Structure 1
């Protein structure tokens, strides 16, 4: 019970921090958590993180503060797509922490997570800036 309360408190603090920056919109990835739980090395850690609860609370707080909340399509290649030229690298493995663009004209070298965050920031939704609903 105590650990559960600590995790919930952390989720509320983190979502408050995100919403208080007053972003135009928040984009999150729709992860296949059920598939991630099949990894025997990560399953316990993933299940303890309460991803669904985090997303639910963040979405609620975005709506409350009139911030557009976007869930990127599960199959959107945020990690595999070059944030500079749009080329998709099909052979990117989880252990690859640096994204190296396969396009000879681009040759972008960037941290994999930073590349994915840029792609998610540029994710096209059906709405313009601002919460619509």
Structure 2
């Protein structure tokens, strides 16, 4: 099981649901609520938003295969932004997506901290926390 400190609003029940998921590889995710297009300096390709997943953590993956995937990526010089995409790239195995929550934000930018403060006040101090 993998998690990251920059996602502090995960409930114990979400960890338990992941642990008890009958599939060996699973992650949380949400629909992408905005349009995403592919390109660098100009638009090169439309992406089908209905097929995109906003990946969240925690994630559950086969540890030996994950370690091997990290080693292959290091040898290839290939970079990934999180472990599910790395794992899938090298193993091509099914990874179940469990419905995530809007509260499971990643706090990496100053605006995320402000949003996190609101979640903390309303979700945790407000009594909705597990």
**TM-score for the superposition, normalised by structure 1:** 0.25
Structure with more of its chain in strand, by fraction:
2
TM-score after normalising by structure 2 = 0.26
